Amino acid sequence: MVLKEKTKDIASHEYIEAIGRRKTAAARVRLLKGAMGTFVVGDQTFDEYFKTAEQRRVARDVFVLHEPAKEHYGVSAHVKGGGLSSQAEAVRHGIARALIEVEPELRKKLKKAGFLKRDPRAKERRKFGLKKARKAPQWSKR
- Domain residues of the chain, as ranges? 7-113
User: Distance between CA 78 and CA 122 in Å, rounded?
Assistant: 21
Q: Is the CATH number 3.40.50.300 carried by domain 7-113?
A: no
Q: 67 pLDDT band (50/70/90 cuts)?
A: confident
pLDDT at residue 33 tops 60 = yes
Please, which pLDDT band fits residue 10 given cuts at 50, 70 and 90? Answer: very low
C-alpha separations of 23 from 26, 69, 116 in Å: 8, 26, 14
Q: What's the whole-model pTM score?
A: 0.82
Per the prediction, the chain carries an average pLDDT of 88
**8 Å CB contact between 12 and 110:** no
- Is the model's pLDDT at 102 over the cut of 50? yes
